[in-house]
Chains A and B, each alone.
Chain A
Amino acid sequence: MLLNEPLNRVLYIDLTRRTSWVERRPELFAEGLGGTGAGIRLLEEECPAGADPLGPDNPIIFAVGPLVGLYPLASKTVAMFKSPHTGNLGESHAGGRSATSIRLAGFGAVVIRGASTMPIYLVIEDDRVSFRDASALWGTRSSYTTGSVLRRREPGSGSRTIMRIGRAGERQVSYACVITETYRHFGRLGLGAVFGSKQLKAIVIAGKHSLEVADRKAYRQAYDAIFKKATESELMKKYHELGTPKNVLPLDAIGGLPTRNLQAGRFEGAEAISGENLAENYLGRRVACAHCPTACIHLAALRIPYPNDPYFYKTLMLGYDHEPIYATGSMLELDDVSGMLRLMDEVEIQGLDVMSAGVALAWATEALEHGLISTEETDGLELAFGDAETYIAATQRIVEQPTDFYAALARGVDHAASIYGGEEFALAFGGNEMPGYHTGPACHVGWLAGARHSHLDNAGYSLDQKAAQKGETLTPEGVARALVEEEQWRQVLTSLVICLFARNVYDEQTVCDALTAIGHEVTPEGLRALGADILRRKVAFKLREGFTFEGLRLPERIFETPAPAGDFDAEFVRQAIARYAALAGDET
């Protein structure tokens, strides 16, 4: 039994020398809490300036937080690395059983250095680290196979995480993801490519320690208050019932659902791809991350007939959420649910980030329409909005890269458009492809300026929607202030690795009560100061690696397609970004 002990311990693994050791780093967690706060400190230590994101100098850091294993909904692992997709901060979060497994194996963080000279996978059981041969797994067609093999071969079923990459990671597509527990992902910014560059196929981490607390009675009381809030109030209801696809119809209704590479904000097929339709006609199972009663993970059961074998079917079980639906549905004009789900399945098989993949296919379709590329570049594929089969074939080619065009597309739309043109409709922001919102200026400013170029950084879409509802006019200053304030507080939540869906369960006072009961004395003021400090550090890391706020490219398309919060222009966005930079950087 360990009194806060696991969070003091950092497991270091050197892939080059095939060795591992544990260091006690209490200051790391005292100062940074865990998750993002501990992760950015480790990244500052481990990642040399100018490191090649796909070279051995780029570290992989996983960090969890003090609430993990103790309280519900503290279920995320934060991964930190230098992104091969943007060339600066790589930060991606995933749930599943990753966080509980890392902490209950006895660690607050895991740092992976170096690179292997042959394909390997790691097995971590408590303090024992095994380096296993993965050469037979390397190159398997489907990421599902890797999960299946490791599930049978390795110990700890029920109290372990199995993180793995697909072919996209092996071939270092810059937006390859890492899959965990089949249905959760370190999706964004290319952690899968970093795994691939190290010939690291998978990591299994198993553990089930117990954790001592400062005050057992207070702990159980704090637990029950949070659990009651999570299960009996309305706060998690959206995620509990339809899940994130509940967003599809309301966004479409206000004209904020990116459609056909954001040529429109409304999709004729929205009804078909809505959370309501999927739940009614496809939902086959609901599952949860470890220690989360909400069960927001919705799996569609898709029965597919074999074309040449009568009365033969296979049934896919596919996780769906708002972002995958947007990226493979409205963005590509797929209103055929079967086609959309089969494309999502191909993205999973290959191990790509679904948002970047969908946006890449959408850009390529338009580039072909405009004659910027021909079928020579696309390897004969007539990419067309609404054509699922061709998109499935193109997804495979992004990984196989049979032409220079696909090799370029495998580095994202920013890169591809820099070669082939079409930058005005290349929907990447800070190098990262857009999420499923076109609500107004705040969403775009949010993911242009936000440290991870993610909608989860600061939820600009929410600002837009509120302004649209109330008929208020947004200002650059107001947007920048609100985004920075939100992003700073989110650093606290992600340092505690609380799922952002539970952000309203864990308000400031709840966070303080939960921490006090387990022996961490914190104040709301202290937490807010820490949030500001973490964001400042993240921005500083980006600037060190060559990122500039001034250099951000604004795709003209976002100004052309009407948004629910009203028209806005580049001047508005530039002003807001400049204010964000000042507020998030040195003024705070």
Chain B
Amino acid sequence: MPKRLSVIDVDHCVGCQVCMFACTRRLGLGGLAKSSIHVRSDGGIRKGFIVIVCRACADPPCARVCPTDALTVRDGGGVKFHAERCIGCYNCVEACPFGAALWNEEEGKPQICVYCGYCARYCPYDVIALEEVSHATQ
């Protein structure tokens, strides 16, 4: 079964963004440009946080609006990003209602989750986890 990242308990999130740094670090880099997960406050830190991850949709809107097939549907849900085909049109970013198609400013292309779960290994509060996709329960 294909896997995806799930937000298990957003109320346990402290906004440390360790997951975001892990995502870019999986490539051996520091910083955040290549991070496919995003954590921000829910309108001020006093109100808690929003954790934005790709839910690996069965029929992903991001792939539907891609004019160059740079985003193709993965077997079982979610997408695969083919950077060489991407023209940086931004359609995918606007299509995802969760905002999970993030934007890599350095490359001018979307930053799409590869469902590796590296980020979840560093979350100190079990906010996120890599799970098998089960669209029946979505």
Contact = CB atoms under 8 A, between A and B. Distances in A.
Interface centre among B14, B38, B44, B106, by most A CB within 10 Å?
B14
Interface centre among A100, A227, A293, by most B CB within 10 Å?
A293
A288 B32 contact: no
Nearest to B48: A285
Contacts of A297: 14
A554 B20 CA distance: 49
A69 B21 contact: yes
Q: How large is the interface on B (under 10, 10 to 19, 20 to 34, 35 or more residues)?
A: 20 to 34
A148 B43 CA distance: 8
A70 interface: yes
B16 A288 contact: yes
A553 interface: no
A216 B14 CA distance: 28
A293 B16 contact: yes
Given A69-B32, A220-B25, A158 B14 contact: no
B25 to A, nearest CB: 6
B46 A291 contact: no
Given A151-B43, A291-B18, A216 B28 contact: yes
Contacts of A231: 124
Contacts of A291: 16-18, 21
Contacts of A1: 29, 33, 106
Interface residues of A, number: 45
B124 to A, nearest CB: 4
Interface string A275-305: 0000000000111111111110101000000
A1 B31 CA distance: 9
Interface string B91-110: 00000000000000110000
A147 B44 CA distance: 8
Interface of A: 1, 69-70, 72, 100, 103-104, 126, 147-148, 151, 157-159, 181-183, 208-213, 216-217, 219-220, 223, 227, 231, 285-295, 297, 299, 317, 518
Given A1-B29, A157-B40, A209-B31, 13 more contacts: A1-B106, A72-B21, A103-B31, A151-B41, A157-B41, A159-B32, A210-B31, A216-B29, A220-B28, A292-B16, A292-B18, A295-B16, A299-B46
26 contacts: A69-B21, A100-B32, A103-B31, A104-B31, A147-B44, A151-B43, A157-B40, A158-B41, A182-B44, A208-B35, A209-B32, A210-B24, A210-B29, A210-B34, A211-B29, A211-B30, A213-B29, A216-B27, A216-B28, A219-B25, A227-B18, A227-B122, A293-B18, A293-B122, A295-B14, A295-B125
